[in-house]
Amino acid sequence: MANKKKEADLVHEDVEVSFSKLHFDPVNPRGEPEADEGKVRELFGSQSETLILATHMAEHGQNPLDRLAIIEHSQLPGHYLVREGNRRLCAMQLLRDPERAPSEELRKAYRRLAESGRQIPSNVQAVLFYAKGKERVWMSVKHEGPQNGLGTLSWGATEKTRFNREGETGKTRPKNPNRQAEALLTYAVNEELISAEERRLISLTTVTRYLPNVRTALALLNKEDCTTNARREEFNAALQRFLKDAKQPSEPNGVAPVHSRSNSDERKDYAEKLRGEGFSPRNRDQDAYDPSAVPPPKPEGKGKAAPRNPVHPGKRKQLVLSSFVVPVKDPVLLRLVAEGKELNPDEARFSCNYLNRVILERVVHLYATKHGIGRDGDFGQVVQRVIDHAKASAQPPSKGIANVLTKTADKKTSYSYEQMSNPVHGGSIPSGADNKSNWENLQPVLEYLLSKLK
């Protein structure tokens, strides 16, 4: 590559440069001025969008329609500052060296991408601008919106549909079998039902394989997108459980409840499990709508404002839902629940996990004491006696509540007593989303047991 202009008036040229000679631009519109490249990498590397971009790079490689724009480094001869494409540079750096990611969770994600995806080449294509400032013309065209036709015009729904139904030659092509699975995963990330890191741990084809059996349980009305007639909060809760069950376990030989080697009967059983545990939406009284495109329709009222949709429970800022009431005068339990209604699961991850565990334990022991079935033995033994007693009572628990209660003594379930005990002994701490999800699983069980203490 020539480092000098071939002609006096040459503004820019296409070049191939060594990846190791590319540096972050210390002045970037996506952040405040920062000369420390490590801090710039941490800024971009901590963003979920960068991981999504890296995932795409690992599968498809560099975008040939969007090259880096670089200028010569003023202090390092033969090196370059990236004026356009700093987030891409960060994604490439972390794919080449995952240990530079800003957290252990992200390092694991980038290691998986680096091991299974395409390698980042030693040399990359770029456009070299010879004078700083000349590249700003094209950066403005790219980033400052339509500008009455000067900039990029985003596709609307119609254009996207036309594009997705046409192949390279313009001929109609078969529908992508993973289309609905991709739509559901994208919606779940946007709604914060799952994180971008969790998205990476979910197999698109496995979700597709399960959909024929679970569509009805999820209240999906077609095979194309997220269209449903369920209330949004119920649809979100069902989808969140399904996708979290499809997440690759952290244990080396662990098998997720939703896995790639399942047969038809297992997939049917899983759909029944969603129904039995109470995750399948019960209220399917909405006009059909796609929650990823529009908010659900509001019921018409006569002289009254239509009720607003409640905030999705996954977005709440406290562990214990405000709807949870303790109907007995147990000072310890009352204090625990009060604290759970104040703590933020995203900030107090360890404490919220511990609260889930100790509230479960307290309620189970209160039930055992009240009904004289004994608290001796380990937690699993006490729970089994509680289940047996409850099933023999005049008001036995529903199948869903019984299943969840049984799983609290299961060593593999995220909301089991043993799993929630692991962080106390140095194990991994659940995320805020997992803490909230665990509480949502436990609340119906706790409410049932507490109702038997009055």
In a domain, 304, yes or no: no
Whether 3 maps to a domain, the answer reads no
Q: 152 or 200, which is more confident?
A: 200
- 65-100 residues labelled b (16+ CB within 10 A) or e (exposed): eebbbbbbeeeeeebbbbbbbbbbbbbbbbbbebeb
237-246, 277-286, 440-449: least confident range: 277-286
Looking at the structure, tell me whether residues 142 and 206 fall in a common domain. Answer: no
More confident residue, 284 or 17: 17
Q: What is the CATH number of the domain that holds 90?
A: 3.90.1530
Task: Find tokens 């997992």 and name the residue.
Answer: 434
> Rounded distance, CA 105 to CA 247, Å?
14
pLDDT tens-digit readout, 346-395: 999 999 999 999 999 999 999 999 999 999 999 999 999 999 999 999 98
Q: Note whether 326 and 404 are same-domain residues.
A: yes
Per-residue model confidence as pLDDT tens digits over 37-57: 999 999 999 999 999 999 999
Gap between the Cα atoms of 267 and 250, Å rounded: 22
pLDDT band at 168 (very low <50, low <70, confident <90, very high): very low
Same domain assignment for residues 270 and 325 = no
- Single out the residue in 126, 148, 170 at which a domain terminates: 148
One domain for residues 209 and 144 = no
**19 and 90 part of one domain:** yes
End position of a domain, from candidates 148, 170, 199: 148
In this structure, which amino acid lies at residue 377? Answer: G
CA distances from 118 to 96, 173, 205, 378, 402 (A): 10, 27, 20, 49, 47
| pLDDT tens digits along 192-244 | 999 988 999 999 999 999 999 999 999 999 988 999 999 999 999 999 999 99
What is the pLDDT at residue 399?
87
One domain, residues 200 and 143: no
> Band of the pLDDT at 97, cuts 50, 70, 90?
very high
| 120: pLDDT strictly greater than 60 | yes
Domain boundary among 97, 127, 148: 148
The answer on 392 and 348 residing in a single domain is yes
**How far is 260 from 282, CA to CA, in rounded Å?**
28
For 429-444, how does the pLDDT look when each residue is reduced to its tens digit (9 = 90+)?
999 899 999 999 899 9
pLDDT of residue 9: 60
Residue 328 and residue 269 share a domain: no
Residue 122 lies in a domain: yes
User: Quick check: is 387 in a domain?
Assistant: yes
Report if residue 256 sits inside a domain: yes
Domain encompassing residue 263: 179-276
Which of 427, 407, 403 shows the shortest CA–CA distance to 415?
Answer: 407
Are 246 and 202 in contact by the 8 Å Cβ rule? The answer is: yes
| 159 falls within a domain | no
Does a structural domain hold residue 204? yes
Do 374 and 432 lie in one domain? The reply is yes
74 within domain boundaries = yes
Instruction: Give mean pLDDT, residues 167-172.
Output: 43
Domain count of the fold of the chain: 3
**Do 143 and 19 belong to one domain?**
yes
Check whether residue 53 and residue 127 sit in a common domain. yes
**pLDDT confidence of residue 313:** 59
Q: How confident is the model at residue 159 (pLDDT cuts 50, 70, 90)?
A: low
Domain match, 237 and 141 both = no
